[in-house]
Structure 1
Amino acid sequence: MAILDRTVRRVLDRMRLVVRPSATAARQGGHRSPFKASGVEFADHRPYVSGDDVRHIDWKAFARHGHLVLRQFEEERDAFVHVLLDVTGSMSRGAPPKIEVARTLAGAFVYVGMRQFDRARVIPFADELDDRPLAIRGPQDLPQLERFLGDSEAAGPTFFDEAIQQLAARGLPRGLVVVISDFMAPDGWEDGFRRLGAMGHELRVIHVRCQEDLEPAWRGELELRDAETDERVRLRVNDALLKRYRAEVQRHLEAVRESCRKTGGWFQDVDVSMATDAQLLRVFGAPRLRSAAGAR
């Protein structure tokens, strides 16, 4: 079954990525960001104020209305969209598995970016970056995107900050960075987010969760295995222990959310139990992500 099937694409065709100007580059592309200077497309007028560049005064409008106004333009910009996809062992949990939902969301961001002629790529990560990031430039690359996402299996531990250091060493054009993960690794997120912010990227963080993460069906004498490190531990699971576990998970996820906020990023939860269109609308209905109808 296709990850981005016709139903999913119909939803995404109504969506548009809006990226802040500081995270874009002046290139030939489909993404437009407003700038108060001459550009390629007229956008609007605004009243003239002392100190404005008189070259941008609309003298024809002045002749008609008797008021000084400036012409504002939209400069054509190219937004690089980098989707970091968590493919660690814990992503295999859930019904459906978190990795399946994450693949769809990763493909969705790439698809919307591609529709706007932006540069988009998927970069899987676990204990290190995948050596084969996939760049998408147009519809002709969609079959390759489907195969690439389908081959991204959930296995191994998470070392997010180390992966970001590798990314910085390779060179990452400034743009929008979307991190899709269950954030079950205990650390590394704050440093990684801070590095991305320092590199000038705009950050969007998507937390893919399942009921098992917060309410595991564990009781009695058990041997538990870490899905990422394969470490095993025997313990007696009772209500008191589960209460402590839930509190610790909530504390950890709140710390991840706060780390994202400190870098000026945006954080959103998506549950695997939600219908696919509801997941997409939850993500693309967020601030600075809007439908094409709302972007007019």
Structure 2
Amino acid sequence: MNYRQSLIAGEQLGLRYALALPQATLAGQRGEHLGRRAGSSVDFQDYRDYQPGDDLRHIDWNAYARTDQLTVKLFREEVQPHLDLILDTSASMALADSPKAKALHQLAALFATAAANARCSHAVWVTGEGFQRVANDTQPPSAWGELPLGGVRSFEEAHGLLPPRLRRQGIRIVISDLFWPGDPLPTLRKLTEDAAAVTLVQLLAPSDLEPPKPGNVQLEDSETGETLSLYIDTTIQEQYRKTLKRLQQSWDHAAQQTGAELVTLIADNLKGSLRSLEECRTLEPA
């Protein structure tokens, strides 16, 4: 399926927003925002004694005339914040009867556009046989290469094979249904390491929230291909709800342990869900 229109729609929606920049991003690279470290912008910060190797252009000769001591002017470094957008494109995000794939494209385009509105560089990473960059990802989303959907590797497996090369002190946004096997904390610790801010966007379809209706069903694991014939009754339905609740609790715990923000969005109601991204200070009006 061609999701180009979803990218375009997300790009248009993203024009309303700017990425909210935490103060920690200001320890990044040279660019258009004022940072904490001394640098060479025009914003004067302080003085210190001259040291061999200092730029002679920064010596304050007026102070030298008064004190007979060489001092240099310090300036606040100009920095450009960076967003690493990390997309789960495994099979569970690409089910044929699910709105998650379309919503994934829209959200990715929205965040990239909001980053541009905040004068923030960005990179887009997708799962596969390890993580890989999307072609043309530094361009507007409508010019991106295809996002490869339906990979057989889970997010955690892809991260274990080849993790994304994330920018130190950058902002990181993960978009996934978060249906990962096992404890999410070890992988999340790696994703949050040296980050300025991390937001986990859990993208769910309405069908993810409720168990199947009663009756005989054949279930297939979208990522392993394993099948299971099952009769759905009220007991199985209740087990499904309890399992989903435990999953959510494990992610709440992992987010609290690592300082990440966790936001759940419903794929077929993105516009109605975006307010929560403003409330957690991931997005702000442009």
TM-score (norm. length: structure 2) = 0.75
The residue number in structure 2 matching 1:68 is none
Please, which of 5, 10, 14 is the counterpart of residue 8 of structure 2? 5
Please, which of 214, 234, 237 is the counterpart of residue 229 of structure 2? 234
Report the AA paired with residue 13 of structure 1: L
SS in 1 for 2:126: strand
The residue number in structure 2 matching 1:260 is 255
User: 1:114, 1:138 within 8 Å by CA — same for their partners in 2?
Assistant: no
Report the AA paired with residue 150 of structure 2: A
The residue number in structure 2 matching 1:185 is 180
What is the number of equivalent residue pairs in this alignment?
256
User: 2:90, 2:127 within 8 Å by CA — same for their partners in 1?
Assistant: yes
User: 1:118, 1:137 within 8 Å by CA — same for their partners in 2?
Assistant: no
Report the AA paired with residue 250 of structure 1: K
The residue number in structure 2 matching 1:291 is 285
C-alpha distance 29-136 of structure 1, shift in aligned 2 (>3 A): farther
Residues of 2 paired with 1:287 and 1:94: CA distance?
33
Report the AA paired with residue 133 of structure 1: V
Please, which of 13, 19, 24 is the counterpart of residue 21 of structure 2? 19
C-alpha distance 226-86 of structure 1, shift in aligned 2 (>3 A): same
TM-superposed CA distance for 1:20, in Å, is 2.7
Matches within 5 A, 1:152-231: 152-160=148-156, 162-163=158-159, 166-167=162-163, 171-174=165-168, 175-187=170-182, 189-231=184-226
TM-superposed CA distance for 1:134, in Å, is 3.8
User: 2:204, 2:264 within 8 Å by CA — same for their partners in 1?
Assistant: yes
User: 1:26, 1:75 within 8 Å by CA — same for their partners in 2?
Assistant: no
TM-superposed CA distance for 1:224, in Å, is 1.5
Residues of 1 paired with 2:118 and 2:138: CA distance?
10
When the two chains are superposed, the root-mean-square deviation of aligned CA atoms in Å is 3.2
Q: Which runs of 5+ in 2 are unaligned?
A: 49-74
Residues of 1 paired with 2:162 and 2:236: CA distance?
38
User: 1:159, 1:188 within 8 Å by CA — same for their partners in 2?
Assistant: no
User: 1:223, 1:234 within 8 Å by CA — same for their partners in 2?
Assistant: yes
Residues of 1 paired with 2:163 and 2:26: CA distance?
18
Residues of 2 paired with 1:110 and 1:85: CA distance?
12
Residues of 1 paired with 2:217 and 2:185: CA distance?
32
Matches within 5 A, 1:115-154: 115-126=117-128, 128-134=129-135, 136-139=137-140, 142-145=141-144, 147-149=145-147, 152-154=148-150
TM-score (norm. length: structure 1) = 0.73
User: 2:171, 2:195 within 8 Å by CA — same for their partners in 1?
Assistant: no
Q: Which runs of 5+ in 1 are unaligned?
A: 44-51, 56-72
TM-superposed CA distance for 1:242, in Å, is 0.9
The residue number in structure 2 matching 1:29 is 31
Matches within 5 A, 1:78-97: 78-93=80-95, 96-97=98-99
C-alpha distance 159-102 of structure 1, shift in aligned 2 (>3 A): closer
Report the AA paired with residue 78 of structure 2: E
Please, which of 99, 102, 105 is the counterpart of residue 100 of structure 1? 102
Report the AA paired with residue 283 of structure 2: L
